[in-house]
Structure 1
Amino acid sequence: MRLKLQFTFFILTVLGFSAFGQQNGTIKGRITTSDGAPAVYVTIGLKDKNQNTTSDDNGNYTINRVKQGSYTLRVSAVGINAQEKNITVSAGETVQVNFSLTENNQALQEVTIAGKKNKYKVSLPSASLRLNEPLLEAPQNIQIVSDQVLKDQQVISMSDGLIRNVSGAVRLEHWGDMYTNITMRGSQIQAMRNGFNFVSSYWGPLTEDMSFVDHIEFVKGPAGFMLGNGDPSGLYNVVTKKPTGINKGEVSVTVGSYDLYRTAVDFDHKLTNDGKLLFRLNAAAQTKGSFRPFESNDRYTFAPSLSYQLTNKTKITAEYALQNAKMTEVGSYYIFSPNGYASLPRNLTLTQPGVEPARINDHSAFVNLQHNFSDKWKATAQVAYSKYLQTGSSSWPSSVFANNTIIRNVGIWDAESSLKLAQFFINGEANTGGIVHRILAGFDGGKKNYMADWGQSHDLDLPSSPFDLNNPNYGFPANGYPNFDRETSLEDRAIAAGGLMGQKYLSTYLQDELGFFNNKFRLTLAGRYTYVSQYSWGADPDKAEKFTPRVGLSYSVDKNTAVYAVYDEAFTPQTGFLRNGEKISPITGTNYEVGIKKDWFDGKWNTTLAAYRIVKQNELTGDPTNKAGETFSIVVGEKRAQGIEFDLRGEITAGLKLIANYAYTDGKVTKVAPGVTSIAVGEVVPGFSKHTSNAWLTYTLQDGALKGTGISAGFTHLAGRAMGTYSGENSEQNLPNYFKLDGGLFWENAKLRITANAFNILDKYLFTGAYYTNYWNAPTYNQPAYSWQAEAPRNYRVSVAYKF
């Protein structure tokens, strides 16, 4: 009897819930783009109600438990025209509502629908890049590293293996994890953040923590549409995370070799039901050791952002980021020896326990106001502010002796920089007589100030008791620890040390891309006027101005294939001291480039093949004959970089994603300035690899009990590596070839992802370095020296991420 009562109660309960469920309805459907492809991660919901969802990988969506009644169903995403449909939901009914979306002409703030659909391939640039067209149509080689790539490869900072995803990018690693300093096409490229040049003099910005980075855009060659005073080799643009309007979050924990412990959180939420006020918080904290003793890199990052839809056509976004770093002094990872590269153990360190670490607080803030006049015209105004504060030191030997001993030196490096930057630009589209005009016009302005005290130094060792590289002793140093003057104000110390630098600039530009024959053939005509006043080392300001033209051609062979050619000029003011006291001229450079871009298999993956030739005049480099304490420069004269680049990225087949690239780079001195004898015509330009090859492959099981399980593997191969300094023909002192193999396993479902990677699987002794023909020492000045920075032996990382 009791069993019957329980059964009856169960049946009544089920029927009750069923009856309750029948009071509600369901809305479901499919969202596609204009070409019929599924539109994924698109927000769809009931207008003015707190019921919404996002489309899945096939473009499908479902909204459950909708009370009966009449509603307005709204679908929206960045880069598309929002759509609304009026619907009526009855009790127990499933309403089928499909949407076909049309893209508007706004470039993305984060990633496009097309980019989200394919986690390794992004089809449109960010709004901060100012281009108003798909990457396929742009007459320039632009490569984008997506957020999914960063997660799969467990990249935690800009200096953490990210460049493997871009052809021809290498890094000398001089600054460790302090500054990124990427070299491409024969020169160091400019560092940008959200479309602003964030380099303060030569140093900075502090390498970005990936917790607040959405993706990174690499622009090859001059970018007249982006900046007027920059190196013709290119730039990278870090695009930060912003509110999306989707209520979601993620917390991740990473542990790894050498005491790496890291936690990161990403919280994205609508603060109002109408979706007008949005909030996002990104934060991270880590402690990190090293395979070298006495070395650490501890950080925390806090990056909130807000956006508010002022009207249907106007939106404002504000964001702030604080990066706090405490790390071993710059230079701790260097090894010096007269006996050749890798002649000492890779875990050897020249740092001295007890030397004060570097402490850095890096503040940045952005405000972006965007107004859409119509579907085809919009205006963007944005400002940026940065304050960088550093208290620290750097280490570098005073002397290197033939018997494999050195005198270690620690120099003070306290610094402060500020950036105040502003931009205003208009994007639009017009038609005249069958010609489509994509127009970009605007101006940039900014003020940068940097001051540093590097005028104090202290030898840790004595000539009578040098540091023995063969038998290192890390006890109390023979000459004691430094006692730097920090009572005097930093400004006064910087003036005394010649450490004042600054720049003021203003530029205006106009670009018109003319589309002929239904926009199949595109001609870009552009020009930029730039004025710069710049000073360094305490010298008087150097002023320069220049008009730089840009001409580009792009032709769509079909909807998936485009060929292009571009001519562009660059203009970079520079400062320094010449021994003869002559005035220094700005760098001028020209770029000639041709290429072909192709999307394969309905845009699932893309290839870019480019050939270029860059010629630069008047570039400064450090005088190879400098003795200790001297900071003179020499004018190279003219150098040429030319090469071929190939990039492939995307989903080859279901579950199989590939990034692969190759670059051939040839950089040589073609002319030498009068009176320069330390550099010769034909000499190799330092800091690049003639052959650079990378690949990263992942495969994820699509079905079965192990669905979501995957394997990844990747390699980097560098051949023909030029060392980091000019020195004759460099033949015997060039760096050996480099090969690094990484790989791992992962598993994920809708909520959880576990990633485990091993790096340098073959446990090779990997390094970058430079050779000094005459390293200063006592009593003579004729001792050659090799310097190098070793990479970690085989090491591991494991990450667990939970989405909510």
Structure 2
Amino acid sequence: MKTIFTFLSLFLISLVSFAQQNGSVSGDVNARDGSPAAYVAVGVKGHQAGTLTNEKGAYHINKLKPGTYTLVVSAVNLTPEEKQVVIKPGENTVVNFTLNINTSQLQEVVINGRQNKVKVDNPSPSLRLQEPLLEAPQNIQVVTSQSLAEQQVISMSDGVIRNVSGAIRQEHWADLYANITMRGSQIQAFRNGFNVVNSYWGPLTEDASFVDHIEFVKGPAGFMLANGDPSGLYNVVTKKPTGQEKGEFTLTGGSYGLYRATLDLDGKLSKDGKLLYRLNLAGQNKGSFRANEYNDRYSIAPVISYQVDDQTKLTVEYTLQHAKMSDVGSYYVFGTGGYATLPANFTMSPPGLAPTVINDHSLFVNLQHQLNSHWKLTAQAAYFNYGQQGSDMWPSAVNPDGTILRAISIWDAKSTMALGQAFLNGDVTTGQVHHRILGGIDIGNKKYDADWSQGHELDTAGALFNTKLPVYGPPVNGYPVWDRSQNIEARSALGGGHIEQQYTGIYVQDELGFLNNKVRLTLAGRYTYVQQSEWGGSPYNAKRVTPRIGLSVSVDDQTSVYGLRDEAFIPQSGRVAVGTVKPITGNNTEFGIKRDWMDGRWNTTLSVYRIIKNNELTADPNASPNSGLSVILGQKRSQGIEFDLRGEIVNGLNLTANYAYTDSKVTKVTPGVPDINVGDVVPGFAKHVVNTWLSYRLQQGPLKGVGANAGFTAYLKRATDTWSDTDVRLPNYFKVDAGLFWEGSKMRIAANCFNVLNKYLYSGSYYSYLNAFYWQAEAPRNYRLSIAYKW
């Protein structure tokens, strides 16, 4: 690793040595009403240089060689604005624009020329920051829609995490739940700024058809989003109307019976462009390399936005995801002789088990009102309704001779969430100090009911399932017949499977900018009150004030350094045999450096952090995962280093690369908790995580548009997914994916090969109460081919 860091350092220093005496251009972009056009794109015609305006409508493009250029700003329903500029050596030229449109009508601004495909300069409005990522005192990484398309990602559980340093998955459960771990803990799942976690297992993975991009926020973010975990979160940003009349239809086929079709329609419902729509549809049949396993899904995601007036915009969004899949336990394999002692395609699942059926509904309403050129009010609400009828196969006994007593339990669940947010963004100046002000309130009501109380053994004592000589067919003891005569709420109450939570959070933040906003001091605080009950227990109340202080300094226009001290407070649910469940508390201390390279075409972020977490629940090492039993860890410390690189290195060559070193250990143990000691490694992470994804497309000649991509993922020194009393650790993990594609103005054809080296890849752990290992294998070498047509 020292060699790698030395090489990277020399490489970056060598790029700086090529700097020349260039010039620059800057200015302001305003709407016709005089208000600033924030976060719009300004490009140089026929040149790769380009940028986005900041919240004041200002832009600055550096490192232009002396000469004459044409600046271009264009927007939907607007004739492109062009102005010539003469760049002189070592000088800055000022060029201002006034667009013939109101600020609230700026649906999308594009540059005449290529846009960066994998690098994003600004966060989505749902993160509430109102500042470029380069200036934010936090490590935030964005996975773009182009990256998702190139890697043929079809859901949140399908390789997304390779694009972010240190992110891994544990307890895969295939395409049911993402369960992403980062910085030593499972991070929170958000959608459009709402925390959509209502139990340890959820939410259902989002289908990629309605996903625009994904933001990974590292470290606590309670000042931005409700109930932030000290380790971070990911925020799925869904597709919204742009005002452009366009569409895209994609067909995908692949190994193991994958057939998939998606449709993306974007346009206007009124001639004046005030009423817009976006509709995304997807349907798929998906088999598996294991027998008797499938995951069929469809999704419907319509969005409507209405420009009420020049200052007010209303957006309504509904999403239905329907899944019909095999029993979730089919992904697990058990044995007593160690990991991977059976073939990769081995299964314990019999044919004929009833499917798990899920219907996941969500509704978002967002209202944005520009009070004036300095203040903006956003109010939004969301409602989620998740219903599941299914089962989970799990062994009652695993024997050294290879025989297993398979059992199956009912797993019906219902989740409802009603969430609301309102926040105010301000941009004011007092004397020589620039203020970016954020204040708001978050409220939520979450309920989760589950029935695990009914069980059925598929085998009998005299006719166990033999992994050495498996016989597949109807189970000896027959299929289970579940009693669903009562509703899920009643069955949940009887079985202790009820969780309920109400919370309110109030927060305020002021980012004070000094020295022409080159030095930015962030002071923030959040008050959170929560009432919660879980697993049939009595409700409890908790409240806490969590402060935040951050400092970000712009060394130059392309480089910033930051420091951050933040605290977190998050409710959690669980059932414990020892102690009382309390909310997680913790803090994060972090330092980092961010830099844009080559006129902002690519970016690097290097950060170091130390996180302390108290009261966190972790799976009980002496109980089945289906039992829902946890233990209170006490305190753990996670610390590490993260490096991310993303962007266009040269014309047509895009690179995403990252590395993370993570060290997570127990520092305190709750009295009475067995089998966990101070100094133990916390399970669920890899000490070293390395990812790359390289894509190159020919820019000219008869093969223009033809390209290739490839990447690898490596997990080194993996810890197991649960606590165990065995010293056997998971082996290192190395996976290579690659592909070929052709992209024209209307069509894209892509073929990808996954697990090119055809390795036996898996995750797993050791369950003490079974005296057995379990593992979940990934697919051997497999392929996908997709054809997309745009209009």
Query: Which 5+ residue runs of structure 2 have no aligned equivalent?
Result: 1-39, 53-68, 83-94
Q: 1:592 and 1:445, CA in 2 relative to 1: closer, same or farther beyond 3 A?
A: same
User: CA separation in 2, counterparts of 1:379 and 1:252?
Assistant: 37
User: CA separation in 1, counterparts of 2:577 and 2:499?
Assistant: 20
Matches within 5 A, 1:179-258: 179-258=177-256
Q: Amino acid of the residue matched to residue 533 of structure 1?
A: Q
Deviation per CA, 1:35-74: give whole Å up to 9, x if none. 99779999xxxxxxxxxxxxxxx9999xxxxxxxxxxxx9
Q: Mean alpha-carbon deviation: is it higher for 98-107 or for 630-639?
A: 98-107
Query: Which 5+ residue runs of structure 1 have no aligned equivalent?
Result: 1-30, 43-57, 62-73, 87-97, 776-783
Q: Amino acid of the residue matched to residue 771 of structure 1?
A: Y
User: CA separation in 1, counterparts of 2:576 and 2:745?
Assistant: 61
Deviation at 1:476, TM superposition (A): 1.9
The one of 332, 340, 361 equivalent to 1:334 is 332
Deviation at 1:583, TM superposition (A): 2.9
SS at match of 1:538: coil
Partner of 2:21 in structure 1? none
The one of 708, 714, 722 equivalent to 1:717 is 714
Q: Amino acid of the residue matched to residue 774 of structure 2?
A: S
Q: Mean alpha-carbon deviation: is it higher for 732-741 or for 640-649?
A: 732-741
User: CA separation in 1, counterparts of 2:430 and 2:778?
Assistant: 57
Asked if the contact 1:408/1:460 (under 8 Å) is kept, the reply is yes
Partner of 1:588 in structure 2? 585
Structure with greater Cα Rg: 1
Deviation at 1:108, TM superposition (A): 11
The one of 732, 740, 749 equivalent to 1:754 is 749
User: CA separation in 2, counterparts of 1:642 and 1:342?
Assistant: 31
User: CA separation in 2, counterparts of 1:735 and 1:410?
Assistant: 27
User: CA separation in 2, counterparts of 1:114 and 1:158?
Assistant: 32
Asked if the contact 2:612/2:636 (under 8 Å) is kept, the reply is yes
Matches within 5 A, 1:25-424: 33=42, 75-76=74-75, 100=97, 117-424=115-422
Q: Mean alpha-carbon deviation: is it higher for 172-181 or for 117-126?
A: 172-181
Asked if the contact 2:44/2:50 (under 8 Å) is kept, the reply is no
Asked if the contact 2:171/2:721 (under 8 Å) is kept, the reply is no
Q: Amino acid of the residue matched to residue 598 of structure 1?
A: R
Partner of 2:37 in structure 1? none
Asked if the contact 2:75/2:106 (under 8 Å) is kept, the reply is no
Deviation at 1:672, TM superposition (A): 1.2
Q: 1:314 and 1:491, CA in 2 relative to 1: closer, same or farther beyond 3 A?
A: same
Partner of 1:786 in structure 2? 773
SS at match of 2:779: coil
User: CA separation in 2, counterparts of 1:115 and 1:569?
Assistant: 43
Deviation at 1:330, TM superposition (A): 1.0
Deviation at 1:111, TM superposition (A): 9.7
Partner of 1:565 in structure 2? 563
Deviation at 1:516, TM superposition (A): 0.3
User: CA separation in 2, counterparts of 1:403 and 1:740?
Assistant: 32
The one of 736, 742, 745 equivalent to 2:731 is 736
Q: 1:799 and 1:629, CA in 2 relative to 1: closer, same or farther beyond 3 A?
A: closer
Asked if the contact 1:687/1:723 (under 8 Å) is kept, the reply is yes
Partner of 1:684 in structure 2? 681
SS at match of 2:358: strand
Asked if the contact 1:32/1:39 (under 8 Å) is kept, the reply is no
Deviation at 1:116, TM superposition (A): 7.9
Q: 1:112 and 1:356, CA in 2 relative to 1: closer, same or farther beyond 3 A?
A: farther
Partner of 1:535 in structure 2? 533
SS at match of 1:496: helix
Q: Amino acid of the residue matched to residue 288 of structure 2?
A: S
User: CA separation in 2, counterparts of 1:702 and 1:575?
Assistant: 53
Q: Amino acid of the residue matched to residue 583 of structure 2?
A: P
SS at match of 1:429: strand
User: CA separation in 2, counterparts of 1:34 and 1:428?
Assistant: 27
Asked if the contact 1:105/1:376 (under 8 Å) is kept, the reply is no
Deviation at 1:351, TM superposition (A): 1.2
SS at match of 2:783: strand
Q: 1:663 and 1:32, CA in 2 relative to 1: closer, same or farther beyond 3 A?
A: closer
Partner of 1:91 in structure 2? none
Asked if the contact 2:335/2:774 (under 8 Å) is kept, the reply is yes
Q: 1:422 and 1:706, CA in 2 relative to 1: closer, same or farther beyond 3 A?
A: same
User: CA separation in 2, counterparts of 1:268 and 1:59?
Assistant: 30
Deviation at 1:305, TM superposition (A): 0.6
Deviation at 1:107, TM superposition (A): 14
Deviation per CA, 1:214-273: give whole Å up to 9, x if none. 000000010122235232100000000010001110000000000100000000011222
Asked if the contact 2:295/2:324 (under 8 Å) is kept, the reply is yes
User: CA separation in 2, counterparts of 1:138 and 1:108?
Assistant: 24
SS at match of 1:396: strand
SS at match of 1:463: coil
Asked if the contact 2:121/2:133 (under 8 Å) is kept, the reply is yes
Q: 1:223 and 1:158, CA in 2 relative to 1: closer, same or farther beyond 3 A?
A: same
Deviation at 1:492, TM superposition (A): 1.4
Partner of 1:66 in structure 2? none
User: CA separation in 1, counterparts of 2:120 and 2:81?
Assistant: 29
Asked if the contact 2:285/2:295 (under 8 Å) is kept, the reply is yes
Q: 1:59 and 1:650, CA in 2 relative to 1: closer, same or farther beyond 3 A?
A: farther
> In the alignment, is residue 485 of structure 1 matched against residue 479 of structure 2?
no
User: CA separation in 1, counterparts of 2:330 and 2:110?
Assistant: 42
Matches within 5 A, 1:462-541: 462-541=460-539
Asked if the contact 2:690/2:715 (under 8 Å) is kept, the reply is yes
Deviation per CA, 1:562-610: give whole Å up to 9, x if none. 0001011111222434334x43222111100000000000000000000
Aligned identity (percent) is: 59
Q: 1:377 and 1:83, CA in 2 relative to 1: closer, same or farther beyond 3 A?
A: farther
Deviation at 1:201, TM superposition (A): 2.3
User: CA separation in 1, counterparts of 2:70 and 2:469?
Assistant: 64
SS at match of 1:163: helix
Q: Amino acid of the residue matched to residue 617 of structure 1?
A: N
Deviation per CA, 1:306-337: give whole Å up to 9, x if none. 01100011000111111010001112110000
SS at match of 1:361: strand
Asked if the contact 1:201/1:502 (under 8 Å) is kept, the reply is no
Asked if the contact 1:233/1:614 (under 8 Å) is kept, the reply is yes
SS at match of 1:123: coil
Q: Mean alpha-carbon deviation: is it higher for 627-636 or for 138-147?
A: 627-636
- Runs of 4+, deviation exceeding 3 Å: 34-42, 58-61, 74-78, 82-86, 98-116, 575-578, 626-632
User: CA separation in 2, counterparts of 1:234 and 1:199?
Assistant: 13
Deviation at 1:119, TM superposition (A): 0.8
Partner of 2:66 in structure 1? none
Deviation at 1:674, TM superposition (A): 1.8
Deviation at 1:200, TM superposition (A): 1.1
The one of 554, 557, 563 equivalent to 1:556 is 554
User: CA separation in 1, counterparts of 2:110 and 2:177?
Assistant: 29
> In the alignment, is residue 644 of structure 1 matched against residue 631 of structure 2?
no
Q: 1:370 and 1:596, CA in 2 relative to 1: closer, same or farther beyond 3 A?
A: same
Q: 1:703 and 1:588, CA in 2 relative to 1: closer, same or farther beyond 3 A?
A: same
Matches within 5 A, 1:428-467: 428-467=426-465
Asked if the contact 1:106/1:127 (under 8 Å) is kept, the reply is no
Q: 1:77 and 1:186, CA in 2 relative to 1: closer, same or farther beyond 3 A?
A: farther
Q: 1:733 and 1:110, CA in 2 relative to 1: closer, same or farther beyond 3 A?
A: farther
User: CA separation in 1, counterparts of 2:533 and 2:49?
Assistant: 51
Per the normalisation by structure 2, the TM-score is 0.88
Q: 1:265 and 1:288, CA in 2 relative to 1: closer, same or farther beyond 3 A?
A: same
Asked if the contact 1:404/1:470 (under 8 Å) is kept, the reply is yes
